[in-house]
Amino acid sequence: MIHPNIEGLLDRVDSKFSLVTLASYRARQINSYFNQLGEGLGHMVPPQVSSVARKPLSIAFEEIAADKIVKVERLPYDEMEAEAAAIFGEVEGDVVADAVESDAE
C-alpha cells in the first residue's frame, strides 16, 4: 500500500491537480535543499517531517499528510494590482512596456 494514502491527501486539498502541483513544487524545494547541503548556503527549507523515504516526492506527500505544507490561495491579478496601488500609489503608464522599450534602446 502507498503511505500516506491518496484519499487522506485529497482531504487536505481541493482537487487532484492541486495535490500534484503542491507536492511537485515542494519536492523540487526538498531536492534543492539536498543538493545544496555540501555548499553550506543554508537558504532552503529542510524537510519538515522525519521520514525513511529517500525520494523528495514521497517526503513531500508525507509533509502534506502531516499538515506541515498547506496550499495558500492567491488573489486574482486585479485584486493584487489594486492592493499594490493602495500600498505604493498609482503607477502611470505600463511599467513593463516602458522597461522593455528602455532595454531595446
Omega before 47 within 30 of 0, i.e. cis:
no
Domain count, the chain: 2
Domain that holds residue 87: 74-105
pTM of the predicted model, to two decimals?
Answer: 0.67
Encoded amino acid at 5, one letter:
N
| Residue 47: other Cβ atoms inside 10 A | 18
Q: Where a domain ends, among 33, 48, 65?
A: 65
80 and 56 within one domain: no
Within a domain: 12: yes
Are 38 and 60 members of one domain?
yes
61 and 78 both lie in a single domain: no
Tens of pLDDT, residue by residue, the chain (105 residues): 467 888 888 888 889 999 999 999 999 999 988 888 877 666 778 888 988 888 999 999 999 999 998 888 877 888 888 888 888 887 666 655 555 566 566
In a domain, 1, yes or no: no
